[in-house]
Amino acid sequence: MRGPHNIIRLIRTGATLERTGAMGIVMDAMDAPPLVRTTLRLIAWPFKWLGAKGDPSVPPAPRALTALGPAYIKFGQILSTRPDLVGDDLAAQMRVLQDKLPPFSIDVAKASIESELGLPVEAIFDDFSPPVAAASIAQVHKARLKETGEAVAIKVLRPGIERAFRVDIDAFYFAANVIEFLSPSSRRLRPTDVIAHFEGVVMGELDLRLEASSASEFAANTKDDKGFQLPSIKWALSSRRVMTMEWADGAPLGDNAAIDAAGHDRTVLGDRVLQLFLSHALRDGYFHADMHQGNLKVAPNGNIIAYDFGIMGHIDEYTRRVYAEILYGFIKRDYRRVAEVHFEAGYVPPDRDVDEFARALRAVGEPIFGMDASRISMGSLLSYLFEVTERFGMETRTELILLQRTMVVVEGVARSLNPQINIWQVAKPVVEDYIRQSLGPRAIAQSLGKTLAVLARFGPRLPQIVETAIMRQSAPPPAPPRRRRRDLAAWGVAGFGIGIATVLLMAQLT
């Protein structure tokens, strides 16, 4: 499906932006250069008649994205959390894309539930409400369990959503291929790999069984986190297209007036949402990757409630340590160490100059310190960082895309609660705690313990494994049986000695 016919889809995208009046608004918000503005307008204007009209009662930008489909809506959701990038007015307009989209028929929702669960809605639920929230992929109804009287939220996928996303993703693939063909320098950013990563995340979000599983794992990881809670999943009433969970009462995190009226401290909430995200990412390596205001509430007791677990992020232990060291280096303003970490992790080609890279990183980090947080332009910082990475030949790290994207969203949420928040000061205690636990003597002992466990499991076979590898590499003539027995004995003694030395080292460290 990724053929040239996708040109029509991309032309229609520009035409819709032009027809709804969103093109100029978006260009102004992103501060696009004059050449870019002129080129896009010249391409889109002749095809303006192909663009979708959208709902005239909705502001131009969300009107255009809603008309274009779910993938574009997801993009708008991210922009809604970044007033520092697109301005307060456009960010406020985009916020309607989070959970206030036009719902589909309640009869269609009930038919889907009956088809998935095998029982009529009336046999399972009482007080089945009209949609209380409608997002890009699904909508939510409130009901009461007939058997227990417990209030629950029922999430139902939109009809035809799988095909709608496939159409958009295929167009994105086509656009990525065209970009790589026309601009070879863009290949270092691996746009096709980025779209493949996005596709994997989105397709996983379209199976609510996976979302229920993610919610369960996330709840197990965070059960002891103060000021944080998750609704429980009702497994017996969940399937691929329907998910039932405990109803969460609270004020939407995007409604500052409601938060203030409930007596909550928005400064505390802003700090907490950022620190919770960092704790989950660094401590667990498993984090909520769609933490916009539409997926967060504040409970009456002040706890932050998270829901909608369709997009979860995972990073391995090594990557977490690299990420923490980079963050910690910026916090401590140790740009030389930040540069060294990039080289050690292979993020920067080894033939580049580490000192020059450290100086470039200093130019990125220094504007953050000693400045009023409200004056820091993250857009400018990200723009300059892009120039730095391009100059030093860094490639896009697909395993970090979701982490970086979520960090941007979470910072936007925190800043909407407290415009004066300083992300570095708030992040410092979380990162320092992780550094102490993951890079100190106890962490080294734990790593050695894991290594020893693997050696113990493969210990009896290690001599044979090593010998086989050497023989395959050099293809020597077969050794006499007596010589081979001596070699095996030597490998066994060596492995036993390594194991004893490891145990002694662990004992000293602990």
* Cβ(208)–Cβ(240) below 8 Å: yes
pTM, rounded to two decimals: 0.70
Give the active site residues.
290
Give me the numbers of helices (H) and strands (E) for the chain, helices first please.
24, 11
The values of phi and psi at residue 309, to 5°, are -105, 30
Q: What is the pLDDT of residues 464-506, one digit of tens each?
A: 777 777 777 666 555 554 444 444 433 333 333 333 333 333 3
**Cα three-residue angle 211-212-215, rounded to 5 degrees:** 85
Return d(Cα 218, Cα 276) in angstroms, integer.
12
* Cβ(254)–Cβ(416) below 8 Å: yes
- pLDDT at position 327: 75
Query: Which residues does 80 contact at the CB level (< 8 Å), separation at least 6?
Result: 91, 92, 94, 95, 97, 98, 292, 293, 412
- Choice among 25-29, 171-175, 225-229, 258-262 with the minimum mean pLDDT: 25-29
- pLDDT at position 380: 53
* CA of residue 45 relative to chain centroid, distance: 35
- pLDDT at position 187: 62
Instruction: Among 48-57, 280-289, 315-324, 407-416, name the most confident range.
Output: 280-289
Q: Which residue has the higher pLDDT, 380 or 111?
A: 111
- pLDDT at position 110: 96
The residues that bridge with 152 in the sheet, in sequence order, are 143, 246
Instruction: Among 43-52, 274-283, 387-396, 414-423, name the most confident range.
Output: 274-283
Q: Which residue has the higher pLDDT, 438 or 333?
A: 333
**Cα three-residue angle 494-500-501, rounded to 5 degrees:** 90
Return d(Cα 17, Cα 88) in angstroms, integer.
20
